[in-house]
C-alpha cells in the first residue's frame, strides 16, 4: 500500500484472502491424500477463523501506527504552540521595541514597546512602512564615521547587511525620541531575503544627558578662555599683560635658540604721559593708552605680540626679525603712534613715543633682552624723545619719518 492511501480493505480483497486461507488451512488441517474440496465443515470453519484472525491483526497494527503518527503530530503542534506563546509573551514584556518587516519594508509585526517608541496607536492597526516611521539624524557607524542619509537603515538590511547600534531619531507625538537600533535580514529557506527584524532601545535620556554635558563643557571652555584672558590680558587695552608677554617671550626665545632664528624686542613709552594725565585727567590718559594698543595690533603681523608692561610702557615681540628689520618697523610704528588721539567734540591729544630696539643674542636671558631694549628706550628719551634707538649691539637708529 502506498503512503497516504486509504487504510480500509475492500470486501472482495478480504474474500479472496479468506478463500486462500481456507484452501491453505484445509490442506494443512485435513488428513493426507484429501482433496481440498473434501474438507469438512469444521476444517473450513477453522480456516476461516485463521484467515479472519490474520486480517484483524493487520488492521490493528495499521490502526496503532496511525494513532502513533497522530499522537506525534499533536505533540509537535502543542510544542510549536507553546513556543509561539512564549515568544509572544517575551515580545509583549520586553522594554525594547521589536519590529518585523516584509521584503517591501512594510511592518508586519510590532510589539507594544515598538508601538510606544515609534508613536504608533495601540489599536492593532497595521503600522505601515518602516521608512515612514524613522528619519535618520547624525547617523554614524560603529567607528563614529558619518553615514550618508540616503543609505538608509532598511536599505542596508534589504541588501543583506546586519546593522548594529545605529542612532536614529523618530517622531513620537509632540517630541522626538532618540533610539539605538540594530537590524538583521530574515531569509526564506531558499536563501532569499524575506524581510527584516529590527530592535530599538530608547536612549533619549542618555542623549539628552550627553547634550547637557556637551553644553556644560562648552560653557566651561568659554569660562576657561575668559579666565585665561583675564590672567594674560591687560584689562584696559586688551593686549597681553606683563605675565602674558613674559610667557610669549619665553616661548619665542626657546624657539629662536633651538632653530637659530632671529628675534627682536621693542620697548615703547608714551612721552610725557604724566603731563597728559595731569592736564586732561586719567580717563583721557586711559583713552590714549587704548589708542596706542589698538594702533600697535593693527600694524603688527599675526606672529608678533604686543603687551603692556605697566603704566604707559608697552613691548613688542618680533619673531624672525633681526635688528635692521626691527629698527625699520620701529620707525614705521613711531609715525603711526605719534598721530594725535581724537576725543569728543573735536578735541585731539598730541602724542609722541620713544622706542628702544634690541636683538636677541644666543644664550641671552629674557630679562637681559628686555633690559637692553629698555636701555635703548631711555637713550632715545635722553636724545630728545619722539625717536627710535637701538641697543648696545644695534649700531644704528631708525631714520626720522
pLDDT digits (tens, 9 = 90+) for 345-368: 888 999 999 999 999 999 999 999
Chain-centre distance for alpha carbon 242: 43
Which comes out higher in pLDDT, residue 136 or 297? 297
CATH of domain 97-207: 3.30.450.20
362 vs 5, residue with greater confidence: 362
Confidence of residue 399 (pLDDT cuts 50, 70, 90): very low
Q: Taking the CA atoms of 322, 385, 270 and 291 in sequence, report the sign of the dihedral they define.
A: negative
Of 296, 299, 231, 235, nearest in space to 269 by CA: 296
pLDDT, position 12? 44
The whole-angstrom separation of Cα 12 and Cα 8 is 12
**Are 195 and 185 in contact, with CB atoms under 8 Å apart?**
yes
Comparing 346 with 398, the larger pLDDT belongs to: 346
- How does residue 400 score in pLDDT terms, banded at 50, 70 and 90? very low
353-359 vs 388-390, strand pairing mode:
parallel
**Mean pLDDT value across residues 47-70:** 68
Determine the Cα–Cα distance for residues 110 and 93; give it in Å rounded to an integer.
12
Mean pLDDT (whole number) for 385-400: 70
Higher pLDDT, 59 or 23: 59
| CATH match of 234-390 with 3.30.70.270 | yes
For the chain, the average pLDDT equals: 81
Order of strands across the sheet with 263-270? 305-310, 313-319, 263-270, 353-359, 388-390
Average pLDDT estimate for 291-318: 97
Q: Is the pLDDT of residue 328 over 50?
A: yes
Q: Which residue has the cell 603681523?
A: 301
Residues 7-34: what's their mean pLDDT?
50
The pLDDT score that the predictor gives to residue 31 is: 53
Q: Which of 157-171, 302-316, 342-356 has the highest mean pLDDT?
A: 302-316
Average of per-residue pLDDT across 331-344: 95
> Range with the lowest mean pLDDT among 64-73, 122-131, 283-292, 348-357?
122-131
Summarize the confidence of residues 195-220 as an average pLDDT: 89
The residue with cell 594725565 is: 277
Predicted confidence (pLDDT) at residue 121 exceeds the cutoff of 60: yes
Q: Which residue has the higher pLDDT, 197 or 166?
A: 197
Confidence of residue 369 (pLDDT cuts 50, 70, 90): very high
- DSSP secondary structure code for residue 398 in this structure: P
Q: What is the pLDDT of residue 188?
A: 85
pLDDT above 90 as % of the chain = 42
Residue 4 pLDDT > 50: no
What confidence score (pLDDT) does residue 62 get? 79
pTM exceeds 0.75 for this model: no
Burial class (CB in 10 A: 0-12, 13-18, 19+), 386: middle
pLDDT over 70 at 379, yes or no: yes
Q: Between the ranges 80-84, 165-169, 313-317, where is the mean pLDDT highest?
A: 313-317
Q: Higher model confidence: residue 152 or residue 306? A: 306
Amino acid at each position: 500500500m502506498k503512503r497516504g492511501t486509504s487504510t480500509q480493505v475492500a470486501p472482495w480483497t478480504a474474500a479472496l484472502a479468506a478463500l486462500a486461507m481456507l484452501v491453505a488451512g484445509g490442506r494443512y488441517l485435513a488428513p493426507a491424500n484429501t482433496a481440498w474440496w473434501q474438507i469438512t465443515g469444521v476444517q473450513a470453519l477453522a480456516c476461516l477463523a485463521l484467515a479472519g484472525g490474520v486480517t484483524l491483526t493487520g488492521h490493528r497494527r495499521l490502526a496503532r501506527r496511525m494513532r502513533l503518527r497522530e499522537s506525534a503530530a499533536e505533540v509537535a503542534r502543542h510544542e510549536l504552540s507553546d513556543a509561539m506563546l512564549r515568544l509572544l509573551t517575551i515580545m509583549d514584556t520586553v522594554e525594547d521595541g521589536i519590529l518585523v518587516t516584509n521584503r517591501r519594508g512594510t511592518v508586519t509585526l510590532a510589539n507594544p514597546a515598538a508601538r510606544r517608541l515609534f508613536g504608533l496607536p495601540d489599536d492593532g492597526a497595521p503600522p505601515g512602512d518602516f521608512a515612514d516611521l524613522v528619519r535618520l539624524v547624525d547617523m554614524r557607524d560603529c567607528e563614529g564615521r558619518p553615514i550618508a542619509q540616503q543609505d538608509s537603515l532598511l536599505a542596508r538590511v534589504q541588501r543583506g547587511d546586519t546593522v548594529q547600534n545605529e542612532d536614529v531619531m523618530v517622531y513620537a507625538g509632540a517630541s522626538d525620541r532618540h533610539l539605538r537600533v540594530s537590524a538583521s535580514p530574515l531569509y526564506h529557506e531558499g536563501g532569499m531575503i524575506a524581510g527584516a527584524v529590527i530592535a530599538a532601545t530608547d536612549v533619549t535620556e542618555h542623549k539628552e544627558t550627553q547634550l547637557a554635558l556637551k553644553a556644560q563643557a562648552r560653557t566651561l571652555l568659554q569660562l576657561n578662555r575668559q579666565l585665561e584672558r583675564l590672567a594674560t590680558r591687560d584689562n584696559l587695552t586688551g593686549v597681553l599683560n606683563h605675565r602674558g608677554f613674559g610667557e610669549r617671550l619665553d616661548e619665542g626665545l626657546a624657539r629662536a635658540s633651538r632653530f637659530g632664528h632671529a628675534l627682536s624686542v621693542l620697548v615703547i613709552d608714551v612721552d610725557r604721559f604724566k603731563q597728559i594725565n595731569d592736564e586732561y585727567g586719567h580717563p583721557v590718559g586711559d583713552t590714549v593708552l587704548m589708542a596706542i594698543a589698538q594702533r600697535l595690533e593693527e600694524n603688527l603681523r599675526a606672529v608678533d605680540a604686543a603687551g603692556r608692561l605697566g603704566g604707559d610702557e608697552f613691548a613688542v615681540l618680533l619673531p624672525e626679525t633681526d635688528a635692521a628689520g626691527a629698527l625699520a618697523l620701529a620707525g614705521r610704528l613711531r609715525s603711526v603712534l605719534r598721530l594725535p588721539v581724537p576725543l569728543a567734540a573735536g578735541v585731539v591729544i598730541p602724542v609722541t613715543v620713544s622706542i628702544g630696539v634690541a636683538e636677541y643674542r644666543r644664550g641671552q636671558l629674557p630679562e637681559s633682552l628686555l633690559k637692553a631694549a629698555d636701555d635703548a628706550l631711555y637713550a632715545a628719551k635722553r636724545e630728545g624723545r619722539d625717536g627710535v634707538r637701538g641697543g648696545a649691539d644695534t649700531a644704528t637708529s631708525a631714520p626720522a619719518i
